[in-house]
Chain A
């Protein structure tokens, strides 16, 4: 299973766009890229997934370059409620491997 590397923490202010990049150099052909969000005292919540190029939903956008060795989760105009830990996962059908994630702190 491909290992992922993402920043341990990031700070931002309300209203800013936040980009969290994840590297996954050993991604396999069948692997998808998935992002989860976790608030304190809650289980993780699925945000978005993609295979290549760009995916957008009501919560976030996911940018994946052609070589797929990295991906960027983009959160537009963050608010205080976006303070959470964000996990990047890479894998094929079956097991998901959660790393330690990126702790995003949004300040007023």
Chain B
């Protein structure tokens, strides 16, 4: 059974803190993605990575950075958390065989106070 795991289901941080969200996949997928999901806005792509040490900006990269040092791990970093980054964060992996089928993790609900 394929698995994408995220380090935390719930996280509470203070404004200005540096926040790390970790995602690990066991499917040997080259491609990995970070989305945020907000009511009324659907899922929006923050960053994605085609391979180790490669990254590309998605639609809303401002305020975020990413790290992909190993194939199985893709980290999302909030350099200085702000209240408007309170959201559900979803990580996904994708196999090169079917570019339309992404496997999502359970999500991390981040609250910035």
Contact = CB atoms under 8 A, between A and B. Distances in A.
Given A43-B90, A43-B104, A43-B106, A100 B99 contact: no
Interface stretch (A10-18, A19-27, A44-52, A64-72): A44-52
Contact of B42 (A43, A94, A100): A100
Contacts of B91: 43
Given A43-B90, A43-B92, A93-B99, A98 B42 contact: yes
Contacts of B44: 98
A44 B102 CA distance: 9
B105 A95 contact: no
A76 interface: no
Interface string B90-113: 111000001111111111000000
Q: From DSSP, what is the main secondary structure of chain B's interface residues?
A: strand
A79 B48 CA distance: 35
A101 B58 CA distance: 20
Nearest to A101: B42
Interface in B40-76: 40-45, 48, 58
28 contacts: A34-B100, A41-B106, A41-B107, A42-B106, A43-B90, A43-B91, A43-B106, A44-B43, A44-B104, A45-B104, A46-B100, A46-B101, A46-B103, A49-B98, A49-B100, A49-B101, A87-B43, A89-B100, A93-B99, A94-B99, A95-B45, A95-B48, A95-B58, A96-B45, A96-B100, A98-B35, A98-B43, A100-B40
